[in-house]
Structure 1
Amino acid sequence: MITSSAPGRSVSTFVPDSPAAWRRLLIALAIAAVGTVGTWSVVVVLPMVQAELGVTRGAASLAYTLAMIGFALGGVVTGRLTDRLGIIPAMGMGILSLLFGYLGAGISTALWQFAVAHFFIGLGASATFAPLMAEASRWFVRRRGIAVGIAGSGYYLSGAFWPPLIERGIAQYGWQMTHIALGILCGAAMTVLLLILRLSIGRSQQRSLGTEGRPSVDIDLSPNALTAVLSVASFFCCTAMAVPQVHIVALCGDLGYGVARGVEMLSLMLAFGAVSRIGSGLIADRLGGLATLLIGSVAQASALTMYLFFDGLTPLYVVSALFGLFHGGIVSSYAIIVRETMPTREAATRVGTVIMVSLFGMSFGGWISGVIFDMTGSYKVAFLNGLGWNALNVATVLLLLLRSRRRAAFA
C-alpha cells in the first residue's frame, strides 16, 4: 500500500500482488468458506427430507436444483452489483438472503416450502463465489491464476468442513433446528468477516481498486459470443460434475454403507477439490486458463469412469478423492479465461454469467441423475449420462484452445 500526503488529507493507492492484496484474499477465502455452506447442506439432508416428507429421490432433489438456480441467478445480480458498486454491498445483500433462506428452511413443513427456501439460500451464497473470484482477479497480476484459485477454493473448503458438522447436528437436533442454527451462525460470522474486509479495502472505497488492461488472449470472438460459448461449455462440464457431488451420500446409503460414510466421502472429495483449485491456479499462471480447463475436463472424465467399475467402500473413498483432485480447478478456470480474454471492467458480470450457466448445469445434472435413478434403480446410467455431457465439454474447450493458438500464430 503506497500512501501519499496532501494538505488536509491522506490518499492510499492499492498495489496489486502486494501484502495488502494477500490479506484481502485470505479474508475473502474465509468469507467464501462460510458463505457457500448453502450449496452443500442440502446434499447432506436430502435422504432425511426424502424419508420424512415421503417423496421420491427426484422430488427431493428439487431443493438442490432451486438452490443452484438461486446461486446461478445471484451470481449475475451480485456480479453486476460488484462491477458497479463493489464487493461489499453485494455480499451484504447475500448475507441477508442466506439468513432468510435458512430460517425459512428450518420452519418448513412441506417440500415446496423447503425447496423455495433453498432458492434464497443459493441466492445468498452467490456473492461469495463468482463475484468474489472476479474481484480477487483485480487484486493480482503476476499471481492472478493462483489468486482466483484460492478465492474459488472457499467453495470446496466449505464442502469439506460443513457436511460432517451438519450431519452431526441433524442426528442430534433434527434437520429443521440445524437449518435455523446454520442461518444464525453463518450470518453472524459473515457479517464480522465482511466488516474486516471493508476495513482492509478502505472506508472511502466502495470499489476495490485493481488492474485495468487489455486482454492477453485473443480468440477472435466478441465478448458476448465468447461468453455464450464459455457458458455452454460450463453447462456441459457441470452437468457431469453434479452426479457424484449431489448423489454420493445417497449412493452410499443405497449400497448399505450409511449416510455418514457418504458424508465423509463428500468431505474428502471437496477437500481434494480445494487442493486442485489452488494447483490449477498455479498451472494457469504458466499455461493459461484454456489449457488448464481442458486438462481438468479430461481428468474429470477419467474419474467419472472409475465410478462405473468400483462400488466397494474403500474404492469409493479413493475414487471420490481422485474425483475431487481431478475436477477441482474446472470452474475457477472459467474466471481466469474471462480475465484473459475480456475487458476488466466487465469481469464480475461476465464471470457471474458463465458461472450462472454452469450452475444451471449442476442443478440439471443433480435433478436428472435422481430421475434416472428412479427409472433404473441404479446410478450406473446416471454416470454414463454424465460422461456424455463431459465429452461435449472437452470438444468445446479443445476448439477454443485451437482457435486461440491459431490466432497467436498469425499475430
Structure 2
Amino acid sequence: MVSESLRARRWRRRSMDSAAGSGGVDSRASWKTAWLVLAILSVSYGSPLVIVVGMKPMQEALGTDRSVLALAGALVWVGTGSGGILMGWLADRIGLRRTVTIGACMIAGGLALSSVGSIWALYVGHALLGFLGNGGVYPPLLVYVSRWFERRRGAAIALISSGQYVAGVLWPALFEQGLTAFGWQTVMLAYGVFALAFILPAAMFLKEPPKPAPVPARHASSASGGRPRVAGFSPNVAQTLICVAGFCCCIPMSVPSAHIVALCGDIGIKPTHGAAMLSVMLGSAFLARQAWGSLADRIG
C-alpha cells in the first residue's frame, strides 16, 4: 500500500512537471491567475473598510451609538461566511464569472444602499454587501485558485486569502482623506462604482482551471479502497474543525481592526495616524500569512 501510494504521488508529480510548461497546475499561468485574484479581492475587501475608517464621523452624523455601526460592520462578515455557502453552490451551476459578476454588482448595490443615510439602509446594505457581495467573490475564487495548484497550494491560498490585508494597507489612508474632503456617503457611493468598474473587467480574464493530472488505473483502484481521510479525520469532521478554528482565530483579530481607527480618535490621535495603524496591522498579517503558507507546503 505504501509503495503504491508513493508511485501514485510520483506519477502525479511527473504529470504536474510536464503540465507546468503548458499552463497547467503550478505553472506560470497559475501564478498569474493567483495575482489577478488577489487584485480582485483587494478591491472587494476594501468595501467594508469604509465603515471601519469612518466609524467616528458616521456615528456623529447619524447621532447613534458606536455599537449600532459596529453591528453593520459585523453583518458584512457574517454575510460573507453564510453567503459563501450559497454562492459557492451557485458557482458550480452557473460558472465562476457569472457568480463573481453577481458579487461585484451586490458590492456596489450594498454600498449605494448604505450611503442613503439611515440606520436600516446601512444594515440592509452591508448585509447585502456581505451575503451576496463578498460571499459571491471570495469563496468561489478561493476554490478556483486551489485548482491551479498542487505542490504550492499552501502558498497560493495564503496569497489570495490575504486580499483583506492588502486592502487594509491600500485603502484606509485614502478613505480617511476622502471622508474628510467629501463625507462618508460620497466615499461609499464612489467606492461602490469603482469596485464594479474594476471587478467586472477583471473577471473576464479568469480562465478555466487545468484538469487534474490523471492517475494510472492500478493506482486509482488502490487509492479508492477506503474512504478519504484528512489528517486522520473524515472530510466533514475536518471541515467542521477548520470552520471552528477560523471563527476562533478571526474574532480576536477582527475586533481590534474594526475599532482601532475610532479608538485612536477617542484618545486624541489624528485620524490619519489611526488609519496608518490599521494599515500596519493588516500589512503585518499579510507578511505572516505568506510565511505560514509557504511553511505549510514544506512541512504539511
- In the superposition, the TM-score normalised over structure 2's length comes to 0.82
CA contact (8 A) 1:66 1:115 kept: yes
Give the corresponding residue for 2:56. Answer: 47
Structure 2 gap segments, 5+ residues each: 1-14, 16-21, 216-222
Alignment equivalent of 1:37, drawn from 46, 69, 73: 46
Give the corresponding residue for 1:278. Answer: 290
How far 1:31 moved relative to its partner? 0.8
Give the corresponding residue for 1:79. Answer: 88
* Equivalent-residue separation in structure 2 for 1:233 and 1:23 (angstroms): 30
Structure 1 gap segments, 5+ residues each: 3-12, 289-411
Q: Secondary structure at the match of 2:47?
A: helix
Closer/same/farther in 2, CA of residues 67 and 218 from structure 1, 3 Å limit? closer
**CA deviation string 1:203-250 (max 9, x = no partner):** xx5xx3343797996433322222222222222222211221111112
**CA deviation string 1:282-323 (max 9, x = no partner):** 1111122xxxxxxxxxxxxxxxxxxxxxxxxxxxxxxxxxxx
* Equivalent-residue separation in structure 2 for 1:218 and 1:35 (angstroms): 31
Alignment equivalent of 1:241, drawn from 230, 253, 258: 253
CA contact (8 A) 2:47 2:192 kept: no
CA contact (8 A) 1:102 1:117 kept: yes
* Equivalent-residue separation in structure 1 for 2:212 and 2:285 (angstroms): 28
CA contact (8 A) 1:106 1:177 kept: yes
* Equivalent-residue separation in structure 2 for 1:218 and 1:270 (angstroms): 30
**CA deviation string 1:310-343 (max 9, x = no partner):** xxxxxxxxxxxxxxxxxxxxxxxxxxxxxxxxxx
Which aligned runs of 4 or more in structure 1 are off by greater than 6 angstroms? 212-217
* Equivalent-residue separation in structure 1 for 2:299 and 2:135 (angstroms): 28
**What pairs with 1:138-153 in structure 2 (closer than 5 Å)?**
138-153=147-162
Amino acid at match of 1:157: V
**CA deviation string 1:17-71 (max 9, x = no partner):** 1121122112111111111112322211211111111111212211101111222
* Equivalent-residue separation in structure 2 for 1:42 and 1:24 (angstroms): 30
* Equivalent-residue separation in structure 2 for 1:44 and 1:37 (angstroms): 11
- 1:127 aligned to 2:136? yes
Give the corresponding residue for 2:28. Answer: 19
Q: What is the percent sequence identity of the aligned residues?
A: 34
Give the corresponding residue for 2:119. Answer: 111
Give the corresponding residue for 1:67. Answer: 76
How many residues get paired?
A: 268
